[in-house]
Amino acid sequence: MSMRTEAASLALAGPGEAAQLVGLLRRCYGRFFPFPASLSPTRIRRSIADGEVVYAVARDEGDERVVGQAALERTSAAGLWELNRAVVDETVRDRGLFGQLGRYLLTHALPGVGGRYVYGHVVTSHLHAQRFGLATGFVPTGLILGYLPREMVAAGIERPRQDTSALVMVRRSEPSPRPRAVTLEGDDRRRVLEALDALEIRSVSDERARRRPRTTSHTSFHDDVRAVRVVLGADASTSSATTPAAVEELGGRHRARLLWVDVPIEHARAAELVELARRRWPVTYGAYLPNAGSDGEDILRLQRYLVPTPLDRDAILVVDEARGLRDAIFAEADAVLVGAVA
Ligand SMILES: CC(C)(COP(=O)(O)OP(=O)(O)OC[C@H]1O[C@@H](n2cnc3c(N)ncnc32)[C@H](O)[C@@H]1OP(=O)(O)O)[C@@H](O)C(=O)NCCC(=O)NCCS
């Protein structure tokens, strides 16, 4: 399947094109790019063949060189896909290629892989990708502070003065989503309900919950962005894997930059788990992610940026529609950290 545009033709990439995909990423990011899976032709070949990643590529007029790419990568077995690895060669920018690649994936690839939700960690170093998100039905549901190390510099984009935060944007493709029984409280509840509302997903009272996640607590380490991820479930107060000491040890061993604590939003004890997380670590609101848990449960991601140099809020560029969210996330993180130091 392929489609011609002004100066380039779009198509889905096969496993044999892995080396060209890597070539484009290297031309854009030079030596430092934190996601090793997208720099290894072997891993790309395997992941395309296994259906774990789908790439759209744009070729220039000669139909030889790949000049643009964007991918959908499976995040969970429950139909959540991440739109990522979006790069357009510096020589062919501002012609609408990125928008076309993104739309092509949403139309031609997503239905075939059973994608029910798509999300992106959308950079805040420029607004192009955020505008594309708004134009195609993505909704901002959070901001991950300092997501990308500042050493990651894209050709043609201003060198970042601090780690690049990412706006989390979510899009629903599922025609009739399951109503959610949100058991969170306070501001977390309000923010998640706002996100559900914007995504046109119904929320129902606890009693009508169709499914109560029984997630068990565990931790993992995300090597690429150096994040410790803690998932809190029913056994949170007794789980040895998620004690503050165990988490600190894991983070210290890997020189973690980020701490994420995930709480299933429909867990019967979600509000209590959030309380526990806030008591154990100064974590604050991060983002809402549908179907992101290992059992397909929706999660609230709480976060803490572990790098001691504070982030400058005003250097984090967001579309007007996300400014309130950005500022609220900052205000909350500031209040908690000041409180923790005092
Ligand atoms: C972000 C990136 C992929 C955009 O690629 P691109 O092909 O230049 O993007 P587009 O052309 O679709 O959109 C860029 C701008 O051109 C405009 N544009 C779209 N179609 C156009 C056309 N036919 N003619 C002229 N301008 C056009 C868009 O309106 C957009 O303007 P905006 O800044 O107001 O949103 C590219 O800059 C890049 O590779 N950056 C480095 C990697 C990166 O940041 N990736 C995103 C990670 S989330």
Bridge partners of residue 289, in order along the sequence? 299
The answer to whether 56 touches 77, Cβ cutoff 8 Å, is no
The answer to whether 168 touches 191, Cβ cutoff 8 Å, is no
Question: What is the 133 CA–ligand 1 centroid distance (Å)?
Answer: 12
Which atom of ligand 1 sits closest to the CA of residue 121?
48
Structure confidence at residue 211 (pLDDT)? 56
Ligand 1 lining (C-beta closer than 6 Å) = 28, 86-88, 93-99, 122-123, 127-129, 131, 154, 157
Give the pair of three-digit tokens for residue 88.
Answer: 């357009």
Residue nearest to atom 32 of ligand 1 (CA): 128
Instruction: Tell me the DSSP string of 219-283.
Output: EEEETTTTEEEEE--TTTTT-STTSHHHHHHHHHHTT-SEEEEEEETT-TTHHHHHHHHHHHS--
Going residue by residue through the chain, which has 342 residues, state the pLDDT in tens, using 9 for 90 and above.
Answer: 454 455 579 999 999 999 999 999 999 999 899 999 999 999 999 999 999 999 999 998 776 789 999 999 999 999 999 999 999 999 999 999 999 999 999 999 999 999 999 999 999 999 999 999 999 999 999 999 999 999 999 999 999 999 999 999 999 999 999 999 999 999 999 999 999 999 999 998 765 555 556 789 999 999 999 999 999 998 998 999 999 999 999 999 999 999 999 999 999 889 999 999 999 999 999 999 999 998 899 999 999 999 999 999 999 999 999 999 999 999 998 888 665 543
Structure confidence at residue 197 (pLDDT)? 97
* Residue spans of alpha helices (H) in 122-220: 128-135, 186-198
Q: Residue 254 and residue 277: Cα distance in Å, rounded?
A: 21
Question: What is the 233 CA–ligand 1 centroid distance (Å)?
Answer: 41
What predicted TM-score, i.e. pTM, was given to this entire model?
0.94
Question: What is the 88 CA–ligand 1 centroid distance (Å)?
Answer: 8
- Is the Cα dihedral 148, 153, 155, 156 positive or negative? positive
Structure confidence at residue 239 (pLDDT)? 93
Pocket probe for ligand 1: among 82, 88, 144, the residue whose CB has the most ligand atoms within 8 Å is: 88
Residue nearest to atom 18 of ligand 1 (CA): 96
* Residue spans of alpha helices (H) in 30-176: 41-49, 97-104, 128-135
How many CB atoms lie under 10 A from the CB of residue 116?
20
Question: What is the 104 CA–ligand 1 centroid distance (Å)?
Answer: 15
Residue nearest to atom 43 of ligand 1 (CA): 87
Q: Residue 256 and residue 250: Cα distance in Å, rounded?
A: 8
Structure confidence at residue 4 (pLDDT)? 47
Structure confidence at residue 60 (pLDDT)? 86
Long-range contacts of 275-280 (CB under 8 A, 24+ apart): 276/232, 276/236, 276/237, 277/230, 277/232, 277/302, 278/302, 278/336, 280/244
